[in-house]
Amino acid sequence: MKPLTLPLQLPLWELAQFSSSREHMRQLLGAPHYTETDSTRTFGGEEEAWGLSLPSGQRVLITFQVPYGTAVICADPPSVKPVLAALGLSTSALGVTVLSQPVPLS
């Protein structure tokens, strides 16, 4: 996966979430490309973000909600399986929740 400069331009779709820890996210993706520390701009607490491009050209935004241990996967085009595969996860992995329909970000 190749790093992209944040913020990523729309369109992007929320596709899935998975449980993780800050340590695991950094092992998986390296240092965050951006960390939001203003809790009024997040779901309460720090949020880390990575912008990536898969070899196919699919753009991926992963945000990690630190207080909740939840990583959110957004991508364009809205296909979750290539992103999960690049992360070493699957749709049946413990802690992975795939949305029934992609949700467009606005």
Chain segment 28-74, per-residue pLDDT in tens: 999 999 999 888 888 788 999 999 999 999 999 999 999 999 999 99
Look up the pTM and report it. 0.93
Q: What is the pLDDT of residue 41?
A: 82
Burial degree of 88 (CB within 10 A; 0-12, 13-18, 19+): exposed
Q: What is the pLDDT of residue 92?
A: 84
* Domain boundary assignment for the chain: 2-104
Q: What is the pLDDT of residue 51?
A: 98
Q: Which CATH number fits domain 2-104: 3.40.50, 3.30.160, 1.10.10, 3.30.1380?
A: 3.30.160
Close Cβ partners of 54 (under 8 Å, ≥ 6 residues apart):
1, 60, 82, 83, 86
> In the structure, what pLDDT confidence band is assigned to residue 93 with cuts at 50, 70 and 90?
confident
Alpha-carbon distance of 38 to 97, in angstroms, equals 27
> In the structure, what pLDDT confidence band is assigned to residue 101 with cuts at 50, 70 and 90?
very high
Q: What is the pLDDT of residue 86?
A: 96
